[in-house]
C-alpha cells in the first residue's frame, strides 16, 4: 500500500463520516424545531449504538445512509472492487437486522430512517410526527 492510497482512503473515510454527521444534524434540527425533547444522541451504552434514543419511551432511532446500508433505490455500486463493497454492504445489512431484532426482543421500539427520507422535507416531517406520537404513547 503506497502513501497516496493511504491518504486517499482516509479522505474517503472522513467524507463518509462527515456525511453521517450531516444526517444526524439534519435530524436533530428537525427534532428541535418540532420541540421534541428528551433524546440522547449517539447512545454508546445501548446495543447497536443508535443515533438517537428516547430512553424513557424505549425508542431507538437509526439513520441509515443509502450507500452503507444498501438502499435498494439509491445504492450505486462503485465500479471498482465490487466484490469488496458487496460483501461489506451485505454485512452491514445483516448487522442492521440483527441489531433491530435484539433490541426489539428487549422491548425497544426500533425505527430506521433512510437517508433519502431525511432529504425529503415531506417524509422527514412524517417521521417527526410519528416519533412525537410514539414518544407520548410510552
CA torsion 102→60→118→75, rounded to 10°?
-10
For the record, the C-alpha cell of 120 comes out as 425529503
Helix spans in the chain (H) = 3-33, 82-105, 115-119, 121-136
Interacting residues with Zn ion (CB under 5 A)? 66, 71, 73-74, 114, 116
Q: How far is the CB of 80 from Zn ion (least distance, A)?
A: 22
Q: How far is the CB of 22 from Zn ion (least distance, A)?
A: 15
Are 23 and 65 in contact, with CB atoms under 8 Å apart? yes
Q: Which is nearer to Zn ion, 74 or 94 (CB)?
A: 74
Q: How far is the CB of 65 from Zn ion (least distance, A)?
A: 8
Report CA-CA distances (Å) from 106 to 36, 38, 46, 54, 63: 24, 21, 11, 15, 20
Q: Which is nearer to Zn ion, 57 or 71 (CB)?
A: 71
Q: Which is nearer to Zn ion, 116 or 135 (CB)?
A: 116
Q: Which is nearer to Zn ion, 73 or 76 (CB)?
A: 73
Q: How far is the CB of 74 from Zn ion (least distance, A)?
A: 3
Amino acid at each position: 500500500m503506497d502513501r497516496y492510497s493511504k491518504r486517499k482512503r482516509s479522505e474517503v473515510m472522513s467524507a463518509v463520516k462527515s456525511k453521517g454527521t450531516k444526517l444526524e444534524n439534519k435530524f436533530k434540527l428537525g427534532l428541535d424545531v418540532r420541540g421534541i425533547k428528551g433524546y440522547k444522541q449517539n447512545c454508546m451504552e445501548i446495543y447497536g449504538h443508535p443515533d438517537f434514543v428516547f430512553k424513557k419511551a424505549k425508542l431507538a432511532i437509526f439513520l441509515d445512509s443509502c450507500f452503507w446500508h444498501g438502499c435498494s433505490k439509491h445504492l450505486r455500486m462503485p465500479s471498482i472492487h465490487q466484490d469488496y463493497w458487496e460483501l461489506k454492504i451485505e454485512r452491514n445489512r445483516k448487522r442492521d437486522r440483527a441489531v433491530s431484532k435484539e433490541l426489539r426482543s428487549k422491548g425497544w421500539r426500533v425505527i430506521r430512517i433512510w437517508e433519502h427520507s431525511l432529504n425529503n422535507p415531506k417524509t422527514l416531517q412524517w417521521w417527526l410526527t410519528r416519533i412525537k406520537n410514539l414518544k407520548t404513547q410510552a
